[in-house]
Structure formats: structure tokens, C-alpha cells
Chains A and B, each alone.
Chain A
Amino acid sequence: MTNKAITVENITKRFGGFTAVDGISFGIERGEIFGFLGANGAGKTTVMRMLCGLSKPTSGSGMVAGFDMMTETESIKRSIGYMSQKFSLYADLTVRENLRLFGAIYGLRGRAIAVRTVKMLRELGFYAERNTMVKDLPLGWQQKLAFSTAIFHSPEIVFLDEPTGGVDPLTRRQFWELIYKAADSGITVFVTTHYMDEAEYCDRVSIMVDGRIEALDTPSNLKRQYNAASMDDVFQRLAQTAKRNDTI
């Protein structure tokens, strides 16, 4: 049993004549928090879709949660969780109904769902709100709940697609504490974000430019390597070399 949650070797994805992802390779350790950065149009979404089993690479090979990206996409889907800020929970369902729905979709039994629901809501301090509709919760609570729902079925890997915009700094930190806690329990966390200060919370970070991974290291090493004060400076340095831009 390898200790890698994700390994990707020389993956390429073409759409007609356009090479969206151009032969990338990387590995992510189990329990690692991995930040996946890139300007609009760099190919982030395409990579994320392939890692989630929603599309297959044109060429190359890779394993996600122990399953083959080419042939076992259905098993991959069952082994991962996904959260995005734009859509994660049903606003017109209550907290409990959302958990029941997502738990059932991932094949948990009624009793397991009930037990986990109580445990999770108590840990979050949300138990009193279990019958509140999600749309009536503050944004910060919705984000914490969305993350907890994404790991409700104990996935190997959780994908977070721009998870924490717009909340106050304390709530954001509580959110990151949940992420750290999940990683500490062995869940691998794959995060995309446009906020470079958020990238500094990750164990390692990769930066995509024009379909390739141009940099991959810990935030401190990247800052040292590019002689930059912040991840934003590192990012700007690399993004300037892009030939594609977001007008495509």
C-alpha cells in the first residue's frame, strides 16, 4: 500500500486542437493539504475534473485514492468528497436533511447517518440548529457545514473548490481548523483558491501556467526560491510568463 493519495504521471488533456493540460506529473501524500493554484484559463478546473473522475485524460496515467484514473472513475467518485463555495448544500433543506441526503448518496445506511449526524453536529456546535434550513444560516456556518458534509462519508480525499471567500477572518480560521483536523485524521485535502494568503495555509502548493505545473513546493520554499515576500508575489512572477490569457 503506497502512502500517496494521488499520483499523476504525464497527464495530458486535449479538447480538439487545444491542449488544456500539457503533460503534468505530481504526487500528493496521504493527509497532506495541497493547494492547487493558477490564473483563470491555466487548466485547474480540467485537472480537478479528471482527479474527481468526471473526465478522463487524453494520455498519461494516474491513481486517485488507489483507483486508476483511466478505468476506475466510478470507484474514484465513491472515494472522494467535494465542496465548492458556489454549490454544496441544498438551501431549502434543513441541516439534518442535507446530511441525510448526502450520506445516502454515498451509500451510508440510515443508522450510520443518524449516529454520525449527532456526533458531527455536536462537534461543530450546530446541534441546536439541526432543523434550521441551510439558507437561514450565516455564510460562515454554511461553509463549515458544507465542508463537514463533504467529509461525512469519510472519503480518502476531499476536493475544495474556492472554499472560503467572503467570511470574516475568525470564521475563516475556524474553517481552516476543520481542514487541519480532517488532514490530521488522514483525509487528504486538495484546495483551489484565488486568495494567495489562503495558499499559505497549505502544506505544499503547485502553480499552473498554460496547462503545465511551473512550481511545486512548500509556501516557504517557494517564497525563498522566487525571493518573494508573499505567495501573491510568487504567483504574479509566474503568471506573468503566461501566453494564454483568460480571454480564450
Chain B
Amino acid sequence: MITAEDLHKNYGGTEALKGVGFKVNRGEIFGIIGPDGGGKTTLFRILATLTGADSGRASIGGLDVVRDFGQIRRMIGYMPGRFSLYPDLTVEENLNFYAMVFGTAVADNYNLVRDIYGQIEPFRKRRAGALSGGMKQKLALSCALIHRPKVLMLDEPTTGVDPVSRREFWQMLKKLKEQGMTILVSTPCMDEATLCDRIALMQNGGILSIDTPEKMVAAYPEKLYAARSGNNYRLLETLKARNDIKMCYISGESLRVIFRTEETPKMEGMEIRRMEATVEDCFIYLMQQ
């Protein structure tokens, strides 16, 4: 449904995209996972026909993002990272406006947005600028959906959203996927990766890896251990100074350690156990290659 081939984009002397390519299947939730400044937004803007790549090609549903931009704009719903609705219009006015711009009416596609819009409908007379973060996201998603797009592009939809609203948001995406929508979504938050069907890890304008989260984790090439002690900071300093340690970093309540040797060293006060890698561990590993 979405293809990107060898996309390059420079801003002044900065290479925002250094040859990015991937394919997104119809009805799939595809996640672009990576930190700010990695090129995610540039990629989204190219796919949403808002800016051109310097070289490379991209298409949505077989239509070229440069040549067929008019048709593409009608078939995608794009939600930019920054809140981009009209703060001085009410909730209801914003939704009506977006419906009208796309030549449709709220009533025609109400069933598609009912689950989401229904939650903010009690506040339909409130100005959009006065909504909380979670409610703004729901309104923005409703506006991106109101013309019944085939492809939804969401650039960091959960940034700054609290954990409860974030979980709700992902549940909504899952429902939309079940209705056949193709969803491209970006996030800097590694623990959201497992909510996608497939993910591309993105860093410094390039893609580190593309796979399902499960396969990516299963392909982690090292034996990873979790180690902890009463003082993890001191333990980290101790382990870093050893030469039988390949990699060592903090991760929540314990440290992650990769040894150069087969057996793990015993240290007083240190608990150690084997553990499966997470997507975040994969990201860290790939960044260092």
C-alpha cells in the first residue's frame, strides 16, 4: 500500500534522509520507531505529498507521491506531530471544517469516528485550544479520519499524552486496522513498538532494521543478561571497568550485560539472570554496529 525507495533529502548541509526504503502492506500497522531528529517527520511529509524528496521514489496505493499528489491527498489522512487544528474553532467546527474541505459531511462517515469522537462529543462546543492533550489527540484523529481515508499517517501521535490516553489511542488504531485501514505511525517510544505489526527502526536519517517486533527480538545476536545489586550505579562502574564485558548499560531496575566469555562472572552482591532482548535492546545493539 505504501512503498518508499531510496529516499534522500537534504536541508542545507544536513542529510535528513539517507536512502530510506520500505513497503507497508494493506491493513497493516507499520511503526517508524526512532528518536527525534532521526528523519521521521521528513519521511512523513514526503509520503503525505507536502515536500519533495531530493531523489528516490515513493507511492501510495500505486500512485506516485509527486505526480499524483492530488489523488493521494484525498486518500490519506495525515496527523502531523504538532497539534494543527484550529484552536479558535470549537471541537464541532473543526470536524465539520475538515469534512467540508474533503467534500463530505460528518454524518456520512460518522460510524467510522463514533468510537473516538463520541468521547469528546460532550465537549463539542469547547474551543479546540482549550482541550487537554489526550482530547486534542482524539479530535485530531477524528479530523484525519472524517473523509474515510484508506491510509492513515500519524506522526508521533502519543508524544506528550499520558499513559491512560496513550493506551486508549493504540486500542483505537487496532480497531481501525480491523476495518481494513493501513496505518503508518511514528514514535520515539520503544515500548510502543510491540503494538505494531511491523516496525522500522530509524536513526540519523537511515533505517537500522525492518521486521516484526517478535522476529527482531528473536534475531538478537548476543546472550543478554540482567544484573542488579543494591547499588546499580556502583555495579555499572565496576562492570564497565572489566575487560570481559562487551556491553553494559542501565535499563530500569537492572543492568543489561553482554559478556565476552561463555560463563558469567560471579560477584558478591550481584544477582544475574539470562533475559530476552526487547526492541529497545535491539535498537541499542544496532546503533553500536
Contact = CB atoms under 8 A, between A and B. Distances in A.
Contacts, number: 101
A197 B252 contact: yes
Nearest to B122: A247
Contact of A139 (B37, B161, B189): B37
Interface in A37-56: 39-41
A40 B134 CA distance: 9
Interface string A138-182: 111000000000000000000000000111111101001100110
Contacts of B37: 138-139
A195 interface: yes
| Residues of A in contact with B, size category | 35 or more
Contact of B35 (A39, A168, A176, A240): A168
Nearest to B188: A166
A67 interface: no
B35 A167 contact: yes
Interface stretch (A75-83, A126-134, A231-239): A231-239
Interface in B253-289: 253, 280, 283-284, 287-288
Most buried by A among B133, B160, B288: B160
B231 A184 contact: yes
Nearest to A180: B233
Interface string B186-204: 0011110000000000010
B249 A232 contact: no
Interface stretch (B52-60, B142-150, B162-170, B173-181): B162-170
B163 A166 contact: no
A170 B133 contact: no
B123 A180 contact: no
B51 interface: no
B250 interface: yes
B67 interface: no
A194 interface: yes
Interface of A is mostly: helix
Most buried by B among A40, A200, A218, A219: A40
Interface string A181-220: 1011000000000111100110000000000000000111
A170 B163 contact: no
Contact of A194 (B38, B132, B163): B163
Interface string B118-139: 0000010000000011110000
A195 B161 CA distance: 10
A246 interface: yes
B83 to A, nearest CB: 15
Nearest to A194: B162
Nearest to A246: B132
Contact of B233 (A139, A181, A220): A181
B216 to A, nearest CB: 14
Contact of B164 (A165, A166, A236): A236
Interface residues of B, number: 39
B252 A201 contact: yes
Contact of B132 (A41, A171, A201): A41
A176 B250 contact: yes
Contacts of B161: 194
A170 B284 contact: yes
A22 to B, nearest CB: 19
Contacts of B191: 196-197, 230, 232
B287 to A, nearest CB: 6
Nearest to A196: B163
Contacts of A220: 253
Nearest to A177: B250
A220 B166 CA distance: 23
B252 A219 contact: yes
Contacts of A140: 35
B36 interface: yes
A176 B135 CA distance: 31
Most buried by B among A41, A138, A168, A239: A168
B236 interface: yes
B118 to A, nearest CB: 14
9 contacts: A41-B132, A168-B35, A168-B287, A170-B284, A170-B287, A170-B288, A184-B233, A194-B166, A236-B163
Given A39-B162, A40-B165, A169-B283, 5 more contacts: A166-B159, A180-B232, A195-B189, A200-B251, A200-B253
Sort A-B residue pairs by CB-CB distance and give the 9 closest, nearest first: A200-B252, A168-B35, A180-B233, A166-B36, A246-B132, A40-B162, A239-B164, A173-B249, A166-B188
